[in-house]
Structure 1
Amino acid sequence: MSAHIVKVLDSFYVTHDVKCFVVEKPAGYDFIPGQATEVSINLPEWKNQMRPFTFTCLRSKEYLEFIIKIYPDHKGVTNMLSRINAGAELIINDTFGTLQYKGPGVFIAGGSGITPFIAIFRDLYKNKHLKGNKLIYSNKTSGDVILGDELRKMLKENFINLFTREKVIGYLGRRIDRNYLIENIIDFNQNFYVCGTSEFVKSITIYLIDLGVNPDSLIIEE
């Protein structure tokens, strides 16, 4: 495993509990959109506590970017990251991940599970290859949506929001369940990308396979 110490160039909140980190990019470092790396904080008591986070920037950028959900109640790595700002140092390792773009399809994300899709969408949008893709994005409330304006600009009418704990005029207040998929997806003979909590991915995967999706067309992090 190759470890790189990188300086934080900028950090800011994109929602009330999700923070963006822009860090230095080591020479020759590269990734495939959708991939992640193990990240730790370069402090004696934290440098061995590595956590997986997804790259969200374009691979052509001269920096790396991570969008990370902060869990202050856990008193762990993300809580410490809430205190990390420009000038601090992180440690990043080799890239990994199987959640990569394999062609047009339906992306289904729950909460911070959107992060692997951000780099994919940004890459497709830049290269004008986003046509034919759709995003169904579930959050507890409208305030939890990550990069909503940018996603709407890229995907337009193919950006679908659902809120499970808030009623917002013009949006569905429901979970993504089997009935929702039946009512809102016409073609199950296409690619499906799913990311979220382990419970979210498990339930959506079961629904999709039950509805006839070919397991080879189901792209999840393994």
Structure 2
Amino acid sequence: MPVWFLFLFYVAISLLPLGLAWSQGLPPRPILDEIASGAGLLAMSVLLAEFLLLSRYRVVARKAGTDIVMRMHQLLARAAAILALIHPFLYTARRQTAPDWDVSRQYFVTNEFWAIWPGALAWVLLPTLVLLAIGRSKMDFKYETWRLTHGLGSVLIAGFGVLHTVRAGRYSADPVLSTVWWVLLGIALLALVNTYLLRPFWRSLRPWKVTAVEPVGTRTWEVSVTPEGDHKLAYEAGQFAWLNIGHSPFSLAENPFSISSAPANGPEVRFIIKELGDTTNKIGQVQPGTRAYLDAPHGHLTIKGRKAKGVALIAGGVGIAPMMGILRELHRTGDTRPTTLIYTNRSRDQIARPNELEQLSAEHGTKIIHSLSEPDKDWTGEVGFITPALLQREFGDDSHRDWIYVLCGPPAMLEVVEEALINLGIPSSRIISERFSYD
């Protein structure tokens, strides 16, 4: 399924209510009134389509890319919030119950309480939810608390929004459009049920257990899990999983972590995890034998099936996790393509698996370049963050334009690296990336 088809599908869902409203052929109103109705219709349809965008459907993230899906979700939610906020202020028609002679509600906008109150609640909740999402990293919220709040808030906004739309909307009073709204709401809620009930139930039948928790760098651990049973995870090197350790499969206490193991090494799955938050701060205390659950595989940060004469891996901090998976897979499968890893950290003790990286360099031939922003006195490697000059030196000649470039790290680093690579003439189609966070 090509990316353009997924994009057109999303656009079609979002524009369907507007198209059905236009097809009704109702008498026109002043332009501001039509814009007000259009803004409300579009805001509601975009919000409902958002449920499908973030319901962990692998085909979506696999084709479009996890970064693009996440960024689309953020921008579309913010756009919908703006449309919803301006929607009630644009009407110029009189606000009262339409008299019997105004059957098409051409001259009046209803102000009946039973029709207005759901919309008023959704109108307050939507921008609140968006602002909480934008400021989540600056608030003292546990991830699980924020996730529960975000999910419940989204359901309330969707329900109140649709109820207001079919009760108060001029165009949504039409039986066909009214039915479409309820169907879209039902599909959105089913997507949530699939994510938070059906999939966890399936995972409960396929448990895993922790077999090892090893320190691999300062405040950085590699967690290994193996299946309890004959099931195994079919994944590609570089992908990620939603990992739940020590909780019910229905718990919200799960987080996305990149897989650091190689599929060719067998059923064991590994994750390199840095102590960065509520859950990860205690990752080193997890005991072997602890039950775990995986929702996987997800992500597009994989080189399988991509034709390239060489492989460039560029990682910042714990972004080394998927790179380790790719390097281990290349070595295990005997892939002889030239490979370069550029790996940046703050200090030497943050380098994960330094001895294994040296071994991979010796046995597989991977060229490994370390860069530290705060090096010690005897450091002989690169100093500072990854710069365009470093990328020019390593990938500046024409022979590197047919390589595949895999990036994982903080957003600021990726922006610099992506721009520098494109300036070197590397086609954007040969650059795949995955960010740690989104603003």
SS in structure 2 at match of 1:119: helix
Trace 1:188-203 onto structure 2 (pairs within 5 A): 188-189=400-401, 190-203=403-416
Match of 2:268 in 1: 63
Q: Check whether the contact 2:211–2:288 (CA below 8 A) recurs between aligned residues.
A: yes
**Structure 1 residue 145 and structure 2 residue 351: aligned?**
yes
> TM-score when scaled to structure 1?
0.89
Match of 1:115 in 2: 321
Separation in 1, partners of 2:255, 2:336: 30
SS in 1 for 2:413: helix
Give structure 1 regions of 4+ aligned residues with deviation exceeding 3 angstroms.
Answer: none
Q: Which residue identity is paired with 2:328?
A: R
Higher strand share: 1
What residue is the counterpart of 1:100 in the other structure?
Answer: 302
Q: Which has the higher helix share?
A: 2
Q: Tell me if structure 2 keeps the 8 A contact 1:110–1:196.
A: yes
Shift of 1:81: 2.1
Map 1:35-74; keep pairs closer than 5 Å: 35-43=239-247, 47-60=251-264, 61-71=266-276, 74=277
TM-superposed deviation, 1:181: 1.7
1:172 corresponds to: 382
CA contact (8 A) 1:41 1:47 kept: no
SS at match of 1:82: helix
Deviations 1:48-90 (A, max 9, x none): 122111222222423221111112xx3x110132321212222
State the partner residue of 1:159.
Answer: 368
Q: Which is worse superposed, 201-210 or 107-116?
A: 201-210
Question: In the alignment, residue 241 of structure 2 is paired with which amino acid?
Answer: T
1:130 & 1:116 partners in 2: Cα distance? Answer: 19
Give yes or no for contact 1:121–1:130 (8 Å, CA) kept in 2.
no
User: Whole-Å Cα distance in 2 between the matches of residues 80 and 161 of structure 1?
Assistant: 28
The answer (yes or no) to whether the contact 1:141–1:164 under 8 Å persists in 2 is yes
Q: Kindly state the Cα deviation for residue 115 of structure 1 after the two structures are TM-superposed.
A: 0.6
Counterpart residue identity of residue 387, structure 2? D
- CA distance 1:130–1:68, change in 2 (3 Å): farther
Code of the aligned partner of 1:37: A
Match of 2:209 in 1: 7
User: Once the two structures are aligned, what percentage of the paired residues are identical?
Assistant: 21
Quote the Cα distance in structure 2 between the aligned partners of 1:183 and 1:173: 15
Q: CA deviation at 1:208?
A: 1.4
AA matched with 2:209: K
Q: Is 2:295 the partner of 1:89?
A: no
1:133 aligns to what?
339
In the aligned structure 1, how far is the partner of 2:311 from the partner of 2:296? 28
Structure 2 Cα separation of the partners of residues 32 and 210 of structure 1: 30
Correspondence 1:203-214 to 2 at 5 A: 203-214=416-427
- Provide the rounded CA distance (Å) in 2 between the counterparts of 1:169 and 1:86: 36
Conserved 8 A contact 2:233-2:267: no
Distance, in Å, in 1 between the alignment partners of 2:396 and 2:424 is 11
**1:29 aligns to 2:239 (yes or no):** no
Structure 1 counterpart SS, 2:326: helix
Q: Which has the larger radius of gyration?
A: 2
What is the CA-CA distance between 1:153 and the residue it aligns to? 1.6
Distance in 2, Cα, partners of 1:127 & 1:23: 22
Distance in 1 of aligned mates of 2:218 and 2:379:
22
Question: How much does 1:8 deviate?
Answer: 1.0
**AA paired with 1:6?**
W
